[in-house]
Amino acid sequence: MDLDYNQIMSIGVYGSAIGLILIGLYAVLIKKHLTKIVIGLSIIDAGIHLLFIAIGYIKGGTAPIFSPAGEKIVANGGVMVDPVPQALVLTAIVIGFAVTAVALSLVIRLYRHHQTARIDQIKSLKW
């Protein structure tokens, strides 16, 4: 094992993030069931969120929360991880949930209307 920590971590984190994105994409592009497609979308979202957090991570950093003890952690030469990606991902997760909920409600309505949830059966609008 001549891989150092950073390489392992980047393979592990980036790899799983990109893997999630690709797997999700596969589900969206290939799977016919609407629910499966929505699952794919949420997997893509998860991958991107992971990627975002990974980008903000700093080796040896601590969470950007000032506990009473370590109040001057930055000044003392300590490191904190980048807080901005975390804040953004927080927002993105909630938005992702909202979109998923709307998507699933549409799936329910499509199923009611067409009695099927296969996307290739639902194409009364075309050309």
Partner 1 sequence: MMFEAIVIIILAVILLAAAVYAVMQKDLLYAVIATGVISLILSVFFFIMQAPDVALTEAAIGIALTTIVFIITIRNTSRREDEVPMDHEPDRNENDN
Partner 2 sequence: MNSLLLVILILLAGAVLSFLANRIMPILSGVMSFLSIGAAAVIFFVQVSAADSMAIPISGFSLHWGINAYSWLFGAMVLGLSVFVALYAIAFMKGKDRLGYFFFNFNLTIMAMMGIVFSTDWVSLFIFWEIMTWSSFLIIIYAGISEGRVGTKYMIFSAIGGYAMFMAILVSNSLLGSFQIADLVSGFGTLSLGNQALIGILFMVAFGVKSAVMPLHVWAPRAYADSPMAFTAIFSGLLSKMGIFGMGILMISVFAQGTIGQTFIFSNILAWLGAVTSVIATFYALIQKDAKRLLAYSSIAQLGYIIVGLAIGTPLSIMAALFLAVVHAIFKGTLFMVVGAVERQAGTTNMEELGALIRKMPWTFMAALFSIIALAGVPPLGGFVGKWMLYESLITSGFGANYFLVIMVFLSSTAAFLYSYRFLFGLFLGQEEPEFDHVKEAPAIMVVPMVVLALLLLVIGAFPGLLFEPIANAMAYMGVDVNWNMTVLSNVWGDEVHMEPLWTSILVMFVIGATFLTFKTRRNTRYVTTKDIHTSGEIPEAHENMTFSVNFYQPFERAIEPVMKRKMDTYYNRIGEGLESLFGFARKIYTGNGQTYAIYVIIFLSILILIGETIFNK
Partner 3 sequence: MKKLLVLLLLAVVGYSLITAMMGVKFGENRLGDPQDEKTVSAYYLNNTTQKLSVSNVITAIVVNYRGLDTLGEVSVLFLASLGLGSILYRKHKEGEEEVAILKPSSQLLQAGSKLIFPAILMLGAYVFIHGHLTPGGGFQGGAIIATGFLLMMMAYQDYRVSHSVLVWVESLAGITFAGIGMWGLLLGNTFLENFLPIGTLNNLFSGGIIPIIYIAVGFKVAAELTGVLDTLLNIKDKH
Binding site for partner 2 (CB under 8 A): 25, 28-29, 32, 37, 119-120, 122-127
Q: How many Å is the maximal CA-CA distance in the chain?
A: 65
Q: From CA 37, how far away is CA 26, in angstroms rounded?
A: 9
Cβ burial of 25 (10 Å; 0-12, 13-18, 19+) is middle
Residues of this chain that interact with partner 3 (CB under 8 A) are 6, 9-10, 13-14, 18, 21-22, 25-26, 29-30, 51, 54-61, 63-68, 71, 74-75, 79-80, 82-84, 86-88, 90-91, 93-95, 97-99, 101-102, 104-106, 108-109, 112
Out of partner 1, partner 2, partner 3, none, what residue 117 binds, judged by CB under 5 to 8 A for its kind, is: partner 1
Nearest residue to 52 (alpha-carbon basis) of 77, 76, 21, 24: 21
Minimum Å gap between C-beta 105 and partner 1 is: 8
Residue 67 CB: number of other CB atoms within 10 A?
Answer: 9
Calpha distance 73→117 (Å, rounded): 54
Minimal distance in Å, beta carbon 33 to partner 2? 11
**Phi, psi (5° rounding) for residue 18?**
-65, -40
Between 17 and 21, CB nearer to partner 2: 21
d(CA 100, CA 106): 10
Please give the residue ranges that form the binding site for partner 1 (CB under 8 A). Answer: 5, 8-9, 11-13, 15-16, 19-20, 23-24, 26-27, 31-36, 38-40, 42-43, 46, 49-50, 53-54, 56-57, 61-65, 80-81, 86, 89-90, 93-94, 97, 100-101, 104, 107-108, 111, 114-118, 120-121, 123
